[in-house]
Structure 1
Amino acid sequence: MLKKSILAVFTLLILTACGNKKEDMSAEERQKIIDEGTAGFEMNDGKITKAENVPSDEEKAILAAFDEYIAAFNAEDLDRYMQTISKNPKGFDYEEDKKRTKEVFEQSEVKRDVKDTTIIKYSEEEAQIHTNMTVHLVELKTKVKHESVGQQVTVFVKEDGGWKVTSIFYIGDDTKSTTGK
């Protein structure tokens, strides 16, 4: 039962603000999302392709919004984190995300490490950022440590003059748990 509880907390963390899970979609649904431009990225020789049409001022604003989204989450500051989230997200429910994130912050120590952050799609209304992400979580009650390594596409929309997270697509490559001391 304890393992199920730990896995539930970890899954909750990974899926916070992530209404679109790879496992819940068929291959056709995933392809439709990519084809319709909801989320997707191209790789050339194993490398992510950067969008070339991003104005430099927008690139700075989008990357700053992404950095704040990660920093607010890592600070476990719920109000600050929710300011990075769209009030009308496409990929999840705002109130449900707030509730889940609060639970994660109350039950664990958590940190997201990102690298290779790249804007992969851009229009005046929407931007997508691809990143390689490692999520570190320690459950407070049990001290069990979890780590998940994967790729995330974070979709931003223009809202109230800034860029806000509207949906997230996370594909986990590796997850492991260890007992803490």
Structure 2
Amino acid sequence: MLKKSFLAVFTLLMLTACGNKDEEISTEDRAKTIEDGTVGFEMVGDNVEEATNVPAEEEKAILAAFDEYIAALNEEEINRYMQTIAKDPRGFKYDEEKVYATEAFDQFDSKREVANVTVAKYKDEEAEVFANMTLHSLQLETNIEHESAGRQVTVFVKEDGAWKVTSVYYIGDDSKSSTGK
């Protein structure tokens, strides 16, 4: 029972931020999602094409915003983390995210490793950043460790001239996840 409750809380922790969507969807549903603009590209396979229309300065700013988002999560600094989040995000509520993230930071010691970070879609006021992600987490109360890997798309919007996280989509890779002591 303890491991099940840990995994439930851990899954939420993995997704900290932004109306996160951990979805196993069919090809038909995936196509529909892509068509309605929810995700700007398909997260299948290992290759993600880089957007070719990103101005160099904007790409630098977007990737810096992503790096700060990950660093704030890894350092578990709630005020710093909340500064990376859009004030009027899509798919979640700003105030609820602050409460949730505070609780997650209090219950877990977590570190995210990212690889293959790519700006995969870009418009003047919105960008999607793809990354392979591995989360190493320790539940403080039980001392249970967990590792989870997957692919994440972090959607940014431009707010007052700065790139802020507005939503996150995550697809886990169960074959690379483990729980142990």
Return the alpha-carbon distance in structure 1 between the equivalents of residues 92 and 29 of structure 2: 17
Question: Percent identity between the aligned chains?
Answer: 60
What residue number does 1:33 align with? 33
What residue number does 1:73 align with? 73
TM norm structure 1: 0.91
What residue number does 1:96 align with? 96
TM norm structure 2: 0.91
Return the alpha-carbon distance in structure 2 between the equivalents of residues 16 and 121 of structure 1: 22
1:150: Cα distance to partner?
A: 0.2
Return the alpha-carbon distance in structure 2 between the equivalents of residues 178 and 153 of structure 1: 27
1:27-77 deviation line (CA, Å, top 9, x unaligned) = 655432211222142579842100000000000000000000000110100
Change (3 A) 1:90 1:27: farther
What residue number does 2:180 align with? 178
Partner SS state of residue 23, structure 2: helix
Partner SS state of residue 48, structure 1: coil
Partner SS state of residue 106, structure 2: helix
Change (3 A) 1:7 1:161: same
| Uncovered stretches (5+) of structure 1, i.e. residues with no partner | none
Return the alpha-carbon distance in structure 1 between the equivalents of residues 120 and 10 of structure 2: 28
Aligned CA-pair RMSD:
2.0
Return the alpha-carbon distance in structure 2 between the equivalents of residues 98 and 3 of structure 1: 26
What residue number does 1:138 align with? 138
